[in-house]
Chains A and B, each alone.
Chain A
Amino acid sequence: MRPVELAVVFLLIVPASAAAEPGASDRQALRHLVLQDCGSCHGMTLKGGLGGPLLPGALEGKDADALAEVILHGIEGTPMPGWKGLLSPSEARWIAAELKKGSFVE
């Protein structure tokens, strides 16, 4: 990927203000990423696959901030990669909170 295209991808995914909640279009892109890309291991319905389930019941008792850390840094010794190259901390926190609410799947 050329630098210009890389920049476009980051503009699409990373919100301008990294501290704030993602805006509507960013949320749409993040929702797509969770279902399609997290979904390739955790299942498109997030019921689990090679990776464990990501539905609210499975995440009960797990702190959203801790989940965000897992999203950003991965889990050593497992296929779970760190997504910090593609996601900002606030995006990871937003994904973690929404996963706990179960708002990605019907």
Chain B
Amino acid sequence: MNARNASIGALLLALAVVIAGAATARAGEMRGTGDLGIVVQRASGAVCIVDTTSRRSLGCVEGLGDLSHASAVFSRDQRFAYVFGRDGGLTKVDLLEQKIAARIVQSGNAIGGAISDDGELIAVSNYEPGGVKVFDAEDLSPVADIPATYGCQETRSKVVGLVDAPGRRFVFSLYDAGEIWIADFSGSGEPSVTKLDGAGELPYDALITGDGRHYIAGLFGEDGLAHVDLWDEEPAIRRILDGYGRGERKLPVYKMPHLEGWALASDRFLLPAVGRHELLVVDARSFEEIGRIATHGQPIFAVARPDGRQVWVNFAHPLNDTIQVVDTRTLEVIHEFKPGPAVLHMEFTPRGHEVWVSVRDAGRVEVYDTRTFEKLRELPMQKPSGIFFTARANKIGL
């Protein structure tokens, strides 16, 4: 090959690289996904892929169906988001290609899901028909179906509070039956399911601690929570905070609180009370109530900044234009502000230097510095709700 041919060859090669690059990545460049995330745009059935370093939207992916109350988990390599829609849709979104990699409609009515610790299984929590379905994370092909039958074995319960636990396990609560089930997929073949009875009236949501040890379900039907220590040889339900509001009249709850994204702050955790404008402060070892914090309204999310020093709280309708920030050392509200109508969700950057806030009825997402509380950015979005960053891929229970 002479010099001229060699240079033509190099030119063609460069051209081929450019063409291939344009076809696979819209940005036209190699990039990581560790600082990416998605914002659910409920109105248009889309998720927008956001870059938390440049604080901008990279593009939106449509065709995800009814995304009211949608949530997401991420693949271990943080390239794919699995988005759970209310209409039973499960969509695998490629964040780099900005397109749908796989999509199924797996039930009539669903409420979130989880990914196994090895990243191989996606579990979805269903209202109708009540139960949990599990799929292969690669192509969303079916792996297992766990109907939430109880009592006479003909009734099916709605399933809530589905989380992953170490050892290819999923833990979830049966809303109508008051039971907590542990499905273990560590063996080959069908999962082994442990059913724990006596959680209490109407468990409505649950959380698992970041170490994968404690599963705690909130109860709507009574004042108290159900706790399972997953490190026990034979896990059992223990009631904690029984009668935390005994004798007090409950206020109407216009929106159910969430427990996921619960706030562990050093040696205590903060939970939304039900029917009270309060956060409960609970000792993280004894699980006894050690205090309460009066809040602006019925708390919906109480989310700890990743270092645990602050807890950010949003509220139920009609007081949902406000955020309060609690200092977890003094348990005092140190900051209160009104981003706008219908603050639905808050998500921290992995180390907590900034927080993204969706303000649904204002049609925007706002980004704040968590130390100075300065607003750094506004991004226009259509009815934004949930915000999920890829760092969740590395956390148990998220």
Residues of A within 8 A of B (CB): 1, 9, 32-33, 36-37, 39-41, 43-45, 47-50, 74, 77-79, 81-83, 85-86
Contact = CB atoms under 8 A, between A and B. Distances in A.
Given A43-B68, A45-B66, A79-B202, A50 B127 contact: yes
B256 interface: yes
Interface of chain A, main secondary structure: loop
B317 A37 contact: yes
A77 B319 CA distance: 24
Given A47-B109, A85-B252, A40 B318 contact: no
B303 to A, nearest CB: 18
Contacts of B169: none
A40 B256 contact: yes
Contact of B255 (A1, A40, A78, A85): A40
Interface of chain B, main secondary structure: loop
B253 interface: yes
Contacts of A43: 66, 68-69, 86, 109
29 contacts: A1-B296, A9-B318, A32-B361, A33-B317, A36-B317, A37-B255, A40-B69, A40-B255, A40-B256, A41-B256, A43-B68, A43-B86, A43-B109, A47-B109, A48-B127, A48-B128, A49-B69, A49-B109, A49-B111, A50-B127, A50-B158, A50-B175, A50-B256, A74-B252, A79-B220, A81-B252, A83-B252, A86-B254, A86-B318
B68 A81 contact: no
B163 interface: no
B243 interface: no
B227 interface: no
A29 to B, nearest CB: 11
Contact of A37 (B66, B127, B220, B254): B254
A93 B42 CA distance: 28
A35 B296 CA distance: 24
Nearest to A6: B318
B109 A81 contact: no
Contacts of B296: 1
